[in-house]
Structure 1
Amino acid sequence: MDAALLEDIKGAGYWRVNLRPLSVLGEKLSIQKCRDTVSASSVQLRGWDYPHIQHGNDQYGGVENGDGFFESWTSFLNHREFWRMYQSGQFLHYASMWEDRDDSVDTARPFLSITGTIYFFTEIVEFTSRLANGLQFKDGFAISIEAHHTRTRRLWVGPNRMPFFAPKTTAAENVAVDAKMTVDGAQSSQQVALAMCKEFFDRFGWNPADDQIQADQIRLLKQQF
């Protein structure tokens, strides 16, 4: 991967997602298994999949076998991302916040879309669930989602919705939330994502009722946009 892409991603608001197996693997994965499992577990519920599956190498991105990992990267319009799946079972993903790359949205910057964040968290946790099942990781994964360059960033409700009476912001330069996704059925991926969303939005001083977040999750999962 071109190191300049990762620097470009980190140059504005971005997400860092890290999924770590909750137990040590008895046998490390093959590079081919890393590639195939991510591809099979990818979540495609809207116009862009999570994580994005790049097919081959072209001017928009590429894929590569590394020393102990398989990696993929993309730079297309406001989508800039890079991910690695390690033979240890760990998954690492960097992605630009589209809000900092899209000039078509007429609002004060920096901002963060509430609906986009709910969708993103829901996709991450659903991907984690599929990954755990696909790899038969009975203990599941620890999930870490970090938002970077968040200081003074405002939550944005999006078009055709009632705006906040006062800005919802955070003084934190970075905001991180963590959870565990197991495969024992104790919590669904939707419930885990809901809890993570609530913790994340609390850092911005917004504490919605569960059903407000769930309504967007259901729209995403049913693809009713």
Structure 2
Amino acid sequence: MIELDALESLLALGHEQRRLEVKGPGLVSDKAFAARVARAVMAMGNLRDGGVVCIGIADDQIAQMMPGLDEAARKSWGDYDTVSAALARYIDPPATFDLRVVELSNGAHVAVLDVHEFETSIYVCKKTFPDVLQDGATYVRTRGKPQSIPVPSAAEMRELLDLGVDKGIREFLRRAGAAGVPLLGTPPPTPSALFDDERTQAWADGSVFDSPSAGTLVDPDRPVCFFDVAIRPLPYERERLQAGDLLEFIERRAVSMRGWPVPFIDARRGIARHDSWIGQDIEGRNVPHLEAWRFFQSGQFLQRRAIATDLRKLDDVESTAPGATGVVAVWDVLLYLVEVAELGARLTTSLDVESIEFEVHLEGVGGRELVSDWRRPIFGPYVASSQAFSTRLTVPAAELVTSPRQAGVNLAQGILQKFGLNVPDQVYLDQQAEIFGP
């Protein structure tokens, strides 16, 4: 349960947080207001460790902690059974929360709902309320601008499903233990699970893709389509590299086949240093660029990088499909993933590994059309229906070192074919050779 001092410290920041949502004064008996509170409670309950809904604070008076609840509203929100019943009309299964009406240091009174993380089943809306709630929708708190809205992306859905899986595993182990089933033979985590844990840790606090800063060349109000890449040396070894060597190691192996390196490292902006990894977020203020990278002692490299066509207008790359929300250039996918494969090869030659696993996601691609330039026309339209395309490839170390560009083409095929485009490997090999050389 959140302490009063901690609540006031969060309010003093003057804006909502992912784990804190405020609502102005209102009564439980006001159905529209109760529906908005139910939406916030559902979203907080679908967040790992839950969150807080504070009632009585206006959106534009958060730092002032005003105006507070009057006596009628305090009485309304002080009855747990009444509040629980009002919220249960909309939430399935019924949400679990603690409820207090407290007096803040400025004398204002607020109702505080400490919402618990869901127990076994994700909270789902079971009743529509016009313009507020939709029957069957699953509400979450977004990572960027804090909002309680239906699941907006594949990444947010994966986070919610991962939480559900984690809870399911814990419940299974609890029941198995209670039934006397021996669990000592439970196999150790797989390398993929260990690498996934690192990735979850790396992006847990978000990145520039969740909330681009004002003053950069990226429009914060327009969703960005971006690559989400993982390079994973196998077998998994948590401390394959020393923490103090990470920056120099990745700097020396950065790939600069087109001038702009993969990854881009700007020592002037400072490097984030964590327990087992380093990283940096890069926002273009003078040139259009957006990326975030992370590098672990295990040798795992992660990068999120915006597609070129979202950062600048290219005269020879235009959409022809009616209703397309944007474009993805064939050459952008191909050339970037060849660079990613080359980086994997450089890691391979420096680390004692058996193979490298590549995992590539193209996030926010829904509604975008795959296009080419005038020299290599393609005849579509090829428009993405899914919000994300993914591919995975494991390459033996010797094969990757000797043929990194073929590995890059294989990765590109794994994404481009999801659009419906089928082109022979040799066409892509020739295309990248024109840019990178033989």
TM-score normalised according to structure 1 size: 0.86
Q: Tell me, yes or no, if structure 1 residue 175 matches structure 2 residue 389.
A: yes
Which residue does 2:209 correspond to in 1?
6
Q: Tell me, yes or no, if structure 1 residue 41 matches structure 2 residue 253.
A: yes
Which residue does 1:154 correspond to in 2?
369
Identify the match of residue 124 of structure 1 among 311, 325, 340. 340
1:192 and 1:30 map into 2 onto residues whose CA distance is 28
Identify the match of residue 271 of structure 2 among 63, 78, 86. 63
Identify the match of residue 198 of structure 1 among 413, 420, 425. 413
SS at match of 2:248: helix
Which residue does 1:89 correspond to in 2?
299
2:243 and 2:227 map into 1 onto residues whose CA distance is 25
Which residue does 1:72 correspond to in 2?
280
92-101 or 184-193: bigger deviation: 184-193
2:282 and 2:249 map into 1 onto residues whose CA distance is 19
SS at match of 1:184: helix
1:3 and 1:79 map into 2 onto residues whose CA distance is 18
1:151 and 1:26 map into 2 onto residues whose CA distance is 36
2:416 and 2:283 map into 1 onto residues whose CA distance is 28
Q: Tell me, yes or no, if structure 1 residue 163 matches structure 2 residue 377.
A: yes
2:372 and 2:210 map into 1 onto residues whose CA distance is 29
| Pairwise CA distance, 1:176 | 0.6
- Please give the root-mean-square deviation of Cα atoms over the aligned residues, in Å: 2.4
| Aligned length, in residue pairs | 217
1:55 and 1:4 map into 2 onto residues whose CA distance is 18
Q: Which amino acid aligns with 1:130?
A: R
| Pairwise CA distance, 1:117 | 1.1
Structure with greater strand share of residues: 1
Deviations along 1:146-201, one digit per CA (max 9) or x if unpaired, are: 1011122111112x325333311221210011111332237611111122222221
2:229 and 2:297 map into 1 onto residues whose CA distance is 17
Q: Which amino acid aligns with 1:75?
A: E
Stretches of structure 2 lacking an aligned partner (at least 5 in a row): 1-202, 213-221, 320-324
Q: Which amino acid aligns with 2:280?
A: S
TM-score normalised according to structure 2 size: 0.46
SS at match of 2:399: coil
Q: 1:26 and 1:93, CA in 2 relative to 1: closer, same or farther beyond 3 A?
A: closer
**Rg larger in structure:** 2
SS at match of 2:260: coil
Q: Which amino acid aligns with 2:312?
A: D
